[in-house]
Amino acid sequence: MAKKAPGKVRRVAKANKAAKTAKPATRAAAKSAVARSTAKRGKFVYQFGKTTDGNGSMKPLLGGKGANLAEMCRIGLPVPPGFTITTEVCTYYYDHKRSYPPALKAQMQAGIAAIEKQTKKKLGDLKNPLLVSVRSGARDSMPGMMDTILNLGLNDQTVEALAKKTGNPRFAWDCYRRFVQMYGDVVLGVQKRPDEDHEPFETVIETLKHERHHEGIEDTKLSVDDLKELVVRFKALVKERVGKSFPSSPWDQLMGAVGAVFGSWMNDRAIVYRRKYNIPSEWGTAVNVQAMVYGNTGDESGSGVAFTRNPANGTKEFYGEFLINAQGEDVVAGVRTPEPVAELKKQMPKAYGELERIRQRLEKHFKDVQDFEFTIEDGVVYMLQTRNGKRTAMAALKFSIDMFKEKLIDWKTAVMRNPADQLEQLLAPVFDASEAAKAKAIATGLPAGPGAATGRIYLNADRAVTAAEQAQKEADAKGHGSTPEGVLLVRVETSPEDLRGMIAAEGILTARGGVSSHAALVARQMGKVCVCGAAAVEVDYQARKVTVDGQVFNEGDWMSIDGTAGKVYAGRLKTAPSEIVAGLIDGDEAARKTEKFRNFQQLMKWCDQATRMSVRTNADTPEQTQNAIAFGAVGIGLCRTEHMFFEGDRIDAMREMILAETLEDRKAALAKLLPYQREDFAGIFRALKGHPATIRFLDPPLHEFLPNTQESQADLAKKLGVAPAAIHSRVEQLHEFNPMLGFRGCRLGIGYPEISAMQARAVFEAAAIVQKEGVKVKPEIMIPLVGFKKELDLQLEVVHQAAREVQAERKVKLDYLVGTMIEVPRGALTADEIAQSADFFSFGTNDLTQTGLGMSRDDSGSFLPTYTAHEIVKNNPFATIDQTGIGQLVEIAVAKGRATKANLKLGICGEHGGDPASIQFFEKVGLDYVSCSPYRVPVARLAAAQAALRT
Ligand code: ADP
Ligand code: MG
Ligand code: MG
């Protein structure tokens, strides 16, 4: 194999830095697993073509690209022959100081020989040379991996042979210069230095064009002589930058390229991507080596990228683009603007017909929308890749419903086809139709990511990130519920370097690039609002401004983009609720007739058929409750009563209660609060229309209700007619060093039983009132923070006493439960005892995570990012439940609780209740329901249905 070129050494250094952050235990485990399996098999190379070793189900071993190339061969699609080097070799490579298993070389040689036999060409041959492409391919397609090397096998001799053989020197030299350029860049690392504005190879091309022609001339117009000169200059550039000659032996070229693919697995971009999508580094990448077919032999050739259906909005239409006389990379690179596939019908009707046939075949076979790459060589179509197409939530929904109607998939598959964590996109606002009609669009582009986004524009990823962080800080300072101002990332076109900025931005706008451009791809994947290829948008990076038809926008100015229609607007456009929200919540009839709404309702209906767990909501007001019920919640899983004490005059009564010195005074203050609570509960019960409501008693430490500035303390003193000093000292008295673990939860109700008594009475009186109105009421009183059975027993007495009184006074029979939250480890560990007294458990996984990990959620911002970087935790444990640790506490409590009481009702009301990955876990441990915020309810319903279908 090739000796290490300096460019590669640099990559190694980079990768080592990254490798240090990998999780040692898992890596060791992966290592031994690989050692075992390779020892058994020892097969590192899988051929495809005339004989095909692999198939589509072997993605872990062959990578997505390799497995599907094999599958396409199996179903008789025209695929150039080749072989796949397995992902196990990648893992081996990193576990063995970047070396290969000894058996690899011979297997690769056999692989090359098989290609040679099928193509009747030979690597390095001076009459009929074989050229190959070297392509990376992880289990899932992954931006950040090495770019494909095309035309490998060319050198000063084979290029002449190719020219002679094809009778097309222009083509041969075009291939050669592309190869030196790509290989020099990707494998040898001849790339833009920090002080350079352009890629060095591009600079060489520009200079030559300038010297010999004019700058605007297209690459396709360069003469054979120009191309020859380019090769000479490219090689000189390589020599100058790398200090070594460009490798001429095809075998050295091949080994160098294979090493670079494996090396790219640990580059920064790949690592960032894996982190975002939770892809373990142990997966590794495969390498595909494949005979070249040529899209650049003339006007009967070309290459393109297509989808079997429209991945932005879901329409059933052949969707994609192609370039005449071009090799694959050109389509994506944005050097020339591709044409829509429909054009191909006119220009190459036969090839178009063949592609149509392939499009049908692909969907019939894979039963899902495919994203495929093809090349046409002298009128003959070749397939180079296929995979399940990335799609927006809107397209996913339409695909799933349409394919069910077409009998391609059954309803369960249709449910699985909708990614639960993307579903919220469908509820995101759209632009207010009347506003949009008034505002004139200043530019149009491709609608690449549906939805509406409005924000301040930034032209660079770093500045977009900073601005988004700043906006978030400002929103946080404003207080709960205020959404941060949006950021729009505006670029000529995006590249993987922009990923962070794209993640931070609300929406993405590009001036160049089509459906297969990087921006469109990322938008589909991340569900970002995106308009791409809006040619009227002129971006000036230097001046940090954007000009559209004479109108200037500086960084920080507002723009709005409509990713559903592909329109760009100046300024801040008003948004309106999505058709689904409008239909469900506002009862908007027009919205209910839209296809989007009807498809959504169908999906939700299927979810109800599939699900075992039910979905409740966390709501404290009748309005929230109503919304959640409209979204399909079947009850309240958590009603936080403390929120009810902040509104209007209530806070005064609350403060009076807290400041009271005697039981009498406290009871007097509580009596003022009672009617408020009763009314709140009655409203909620009515909104619930017979569904159950889990009501949690007062939970936060009392000082949270007290004024903390001198001014506000003085104010309160005046209102209550006491001395300011008295208030001050009571506040001091209530101060705690660690409020999260202090005087809160059931400790309050035990210290001041009259508080619980008031709350219980308010619940039961409200229940009695609403029940008399003819509405069923099912209160479930929940005592927070219980760690000892005795705690619950003390509160039970108070609750039952109030129930007896109210039932007697109002002459009603009330149907209620009393249970507890499980949110401290002791509660989980002694669940068998606690279950003797509890009718139900609800896992408060927020606090259970805090107390179980000994980690304060509100303080974790300062160290969690480091923890994620080191892969100490794979996810934020406050967003996705830590299954091995906290999950175990849940499992213990479930087992012990049900051992005591088989019919114990079990639910979860932490943030995790709306997180699809956590919901999957809750299905596995057998909870009865999950509870989440109202707008998360559809997501949870989908996730719960999918979890049930998976088990
Ligand atoms: P990516 O993973 O970025 O999609 P690919 O490995 O699919 O990269 O390669 C990109 C493009 O290179 C392909 O779409 C195709 O046009 C071209 N290409 C790859 N291999 C070959 C080949 N053997 N013959 C012709 N073109 C190829
Ligand atoms: Mg590809
Ligand atoms: Mg709690």
DSSP 671-727: HHHHHHHHHHHHHHHHHHTT-EEEEE---S-GGGGS--SHHHHHHHHHHHTS-HHHH
Best mutation site among 73, 133, 147, 264 for ligand 1, i.e. most ligand atoms within 8 A of its Cβ? 133
* pLDDT tens profile 375-405: 999 999 999 999 999 899 999 999 999 999 9
* pLDDT tens profile 137-173: 999 878 777 888 999 999 999 999 999 999 999 999 9
- Identify the pLDDT of residue 428: 85
12 confidence band (pLDDT: 50, 70, 90): very low
Does the annotation mark 909 as catalytic? Answer: yes
> What is the rounded average pLDDT of the residues 303-319?
94
**Ligand 3 center–CA 765 separation, angstroms:** 26
pLDDT at 559 over 60: yes
Q: Which ligand is nearest to the CA of 844?
A: 3
Q: Which span out of 195-199, 340-344, 847-851 was modeled with the highest average pLDDT? A: 847-851
334 confidence band (pLDDT: 50, 70, 90): low
Ligand 1 atom nearest the C-alpha of 385 is 7
Asked whether 329 lines ligand 1 (CB < 6 A), one says: yes
16 confidence band (pLDDT: 50, 70, 90): very low
* pLDDT tens profile 457-497: 999 999 999 999 999 999 888 876 677 899 999 999 888 77
φ and ψ at 524, to 5 degrees?
-60, -40
Which residue minimizes the CA distance to atom 6 of ligand 1? 135
Best mutation site among 48, 148, 290, 372 for ligand 1, i.e. most ligand atoms within 8 A of its Cβ? 148
> What is the rounded average pLDDT of the residues 640-646?
83
Report the amino acid identity of residue 606: W
Asked whether 303 lines ligand 1 (CB < 6 A), one says: yes
Asked whether 384 lines ligand 1 (CB < 6 A), one says: yes
Asked whether 293 lines ligand 1 (CB < 6 A), one says: yes
> What is the rounded average pLDDT of the residues 628-649?
90
Which residue minimizes the CA distance to atom 17 of ligand 1? 328
311 confidence band (pLDDT: 50, 70, 90): very high
Q: With residue 933 as reference, give the H or E element that holds it.
A: none
- Identify the pLDDT of residue 704: 83
- H helix runs in 737-788, sequence order: 746-751, 753-772
CA distances from 896 to 630, 781, 829, 839 (A): 35, 21, 8, 14
**Ligand 2 center–CA 387 separation, angstroms:** 9
Q: With residue 912 as reference, give the H or E element that holds it.
A: none
**Ligand 2 center–CA 343 separation, angstroms:** 22
> What is the rounded average pLDDT of the residues 625-633?
96
Q: Which residues surround ligand 2, an ion (CB under 5 A)?
A: 373, 385
**Ligand 3 center–CA 823 separation, angstroms:** 6
> What is the rounded average pLDDT of the residues 779-801?
98
Ligand 1 atom nearest the C-alpha of 375 is 16
**Ligand 3 center–CA 704 separation, angstroms:** 15
Options 90, 909, 912, 932, the catalytic residue: 909
- Identify the pLDDT of residue 591: 94
- Identify the pLDDT of residue 335: 63
CA distance 875 to 131: 44
**Residue 758 or residue 911, greater confidence:** 758
**Ligand 3 center–CA 847 separation, angstroms:** 5
Which residue minimizes the CA distance to atom 8 of ligand 1? 148
Which residue minimizes the CA distance to atom 3 of ligand 1? 147
**Ligand 2 center–CA 261 separation, angstroms:** 14
Best mutation site among 135, 140, 258 for ligand 1, i.e. most ligand atoms within 8 A of its Cβ? 135
- Identify the pLDDT of residue 17: 34
Between 724-734 and 710-720, two packed helices, what is the crossing angle to 10 degrees? 120
Does the annotation mark 175 as catalytic? Answer: no
**Ligand 3 center–CA 587 separation, angstroms:** 35
Best mutation site among 147, 323, 385, 525 for ligand 1, i.e. most ligand atoms within 8 A of its Cβ? 385
> What is the rounded average pLDDT of the residues 416-425?
92
* pLDDT tens profile 683-717: 999 999 999 999 999 999 888 888 878 888 888 88
CA distance 607 to 604: 5
> What is the rounded average pLDDT of the residues 252-278?
90
Phi-psi region of 429 (alpha: psi -120 to 50; beta: other; left: phi over 0): beta
- Identify the pLDDT of residue 4: 33
Report the amino acid identity of residue 718: K
E strands in 326-416: 339-340, 370-377, 380-388
Q: Which ligand is nearest to the CA of 911?
A: 3
Asked whether 151 lines ligand 1 (CB < 6 A), one says: no
Buried b (16+ CB within 10 A) or exposed e, 515-533: bbbbbbbbbbbbbbbbbbb
- Token duo for residue 845: 């996984």
State the greatest distance between any 2 C-alpha atoms of the chain, in Å, as a whole number.
106
For a pLDDT cut of 70, what percent of the chain falls above it?
95
* pLDDT tens profile 354-380: 999 999 999 999 999 999 999 999 999
CA distance 730 to 603: 55
CA distance 288 to 141: 13
331 confidence band (pLDDT: 50, 70, 90): low
Asked whether 140 lines ligand 1 (CB < 6 A), one says: no
- Identify the pLDDT of residue 39: 43
439 confidence band (pLDDT: 50, 70, 90): confident
- Token duo for residue 869: 């970087």
**Ligand 2 center–CA 384 separation, angstroms:** 7
- Identify the pLDDT of residue 30: 47
Q: In 3-state terms, what secondary structure has residue 130? A: strand
* pLDDT tens profile 56-80: 999 999 999 999 999 999 999 999 9
CA distance 224 to 168: 10
**Residue 513 or residue 453, greater confidence:** 453
DSSP 507-527: EEEESS--TTSHHHHHHHHHT
**Ligand 2 center–CA 304 separation, angstroms:** 10
Best mutation site among 48, 150, 265 for ligand 1, i.e. most ligand atoms within 8 A of its Cβ? 150
Which residue minimizes the CA distance to atom 23 of ligand 1? 292
Asked whether 328 lines ligand 1 (CB < 6 A), one says: yes
- Identify the pLDDT of residue 659: 87
- Identify the pLDDT of residue 430: 86
Buried b (16+ CB within 10 A) or exposed e, 120-157: ebbbbbeeebbbbbbbbbbbbbbebbbbbbbbbbbbee
- Identify the pLDDT of residue 132: 97
CA distances from 879 to 17, 572, 909 (A): 28, 32, 13
Which residue minimizes the CA distance to atom 24 of ligand 1? 292
Could you tell me the end-to-end alpha-carbon distance of the chain, in angstroms, rounded to an integer?
Answer: 48
Phi-psi region of 410 (alpha: psi -120 to 50; beta: other; left: phi over 0): beta
20 confidence band (pLDDT: 50, 70, 90): very low
Which residue minimizes the CA distance to atom 18 of ligand 1? 328
CA distance 302 to 297: 8
Asked whether 133 lines ligand 1 (CB < 6 A), one says: yes
How much is the mean pLDDT over the chain? Answer: 90
pLDDT at 31 over 50: no
- Identify the pLDDT of residue 41: 60
For residue 190, count other CB atoms closer than 10 A to its CB. 23
Asked whether 148 lines ligand 1 (CB < 6 A), one says: yes
**Ligand 2 center–CA 372 separation, angstroms:** 8
Asked whether 383 lines ligand 1 (CB < 6 A), one says: no
- Identify the pLDDT of residue 513: 81
- H helix runs in 721-871, sequence order: 724-734, 746-751, 753-772, 789-810, 825-829, 831-837, 845-853, 864-869
Which residue minimizes the CA distance to atom 12 of ligand 1? 328
Which residue minimizes the CA distance to atom 13 of ligand 1? 328
- Identify the pLDDT of residue 19: 36
Asked whether 257 lines ligand 1 (CB < 6 A), one says: no
* pLDDT tens profile 206-223: 999 989 887 777 877 889
Rg of the chain in Å (alpha carbons): 32
**Residue 888 or residue 21, greater confidence:** 888
| Nearest Cα residue to 7 out of 144, 230, 158, 188 | 188
CA distance 557 to 441: 16
Asked whether 392 lines ligand 1 (CB < 6 A), one says: no
- Identify the pLDDT of residue 378: 93
Query: pTM of the prediction?
Result: 0.82
SS (H, E, C) 614-654: EEEEECCCHHHHHHHHHCCCCCEEEEECHHHHCCCCHHHHH
Q: Which ligand is nearest to the CA of 148?
A: 1
Options 73, 90, 175, 518, the catalytic residue: 518
Q: In 3-state terms, what secondary structure has residue 481? A: coil
Report angle CA 818, 821, 824 to the nearest 5 degrees. Answer: 145
6 confidence band (pLDDT: 50, 70, 90): very low
DSSP 27-58: HHHHHHHHHHHHHHH---EEEESSS----TT-
**Residue 600 or residue 28, greater confidence:** 600
